[in-house]
Amino acid sequence: MFERLRALRRRRLPQQSRLAQVVYQTMAESVAIMDTRHVVLSVNPAFTALTGYTRDEVIGRTADLFLRDPILDDLRARRGAGGALHTSGEGTCVRKDGTPISVWRNVSTVTDDAGRVTHHVLSLSDVTALKNAQAQISRLAFVDELTGLANRHRFNERLDAEIGRAARYETRLGLLFID
């Protein structure tokens, strides 16, 4: 009975490995697998599309080539303090041409049976369009679309600030209203 289970597991392992490889190669999220010194060992096609680097240009190089935030050091500090082996948040990635990209990044660590960290798995999602849309919405909240001038809400905020400053420094304030 146990021998049949072992044989079944041996047959399933290559199939699971092939399945994992297909998922890794076809997923839309950018993935880089690194060693404990943050040297890139593998990247998927989505990573090369996002960063503009070819696979050969990043393999063997550290993540500092394309990642411009201290997330890996943060992860190392958390691990040293007994913290979580996963962290995520917004960051900046730099494309090969120097263009900064706003990304949501996740870093997870892989450990061996003894609990020692063996690899880091970095995944990146481009959120540049989302950040640009948020900036546009914020701008529209305070600027009149037609004239490009501050809208009533922004005007009132600035007027209140200036009235407060004039009162604080005991100076006069003039306001010219043109209709």
* Amino acid sitting at position 172: R
Question: Is 31's pLDDT higher than 90?
Answer: yes
**Nearest partner of 154 among 145, 166, 143, 140, judged by Cα:** 143
Say how far apart CA 106 and CA 86 lie, in whole Å: 7
Say how far apart CA 170 and CA 80 lie, in whole Å: 54
pLDDT at 55: 95
Domain residue spans in the chain?
29-127, 133-169
Sequence-distant (≥ 6) Cβ neighbours of residue 35 within 8 angstroms: 41, 118, 119, 120
What number is the average pLDDT over the span 107-134?
88
Q: Which class is domain 29-127?
A: alpha beta
Identify the residue with better confidence: 37 or 69: 37
What number is the average pLDDT over the span 135-158?
80
* Amino acid sitting at position 76: R
What number is the average pLDDT over the span 5-19?
70
The confidence band for 49, taking pLDDT boundaries of 50, 70 and 90, is very high
Query: DSSP states of 10-23 as a string?
Result: HHHHHHHHHHHHHH
The confidence band for 40, taking pLDDT boundaries of 50, 70 and 90, is very high
What number is the average pLDDT over the span 122-147?
86
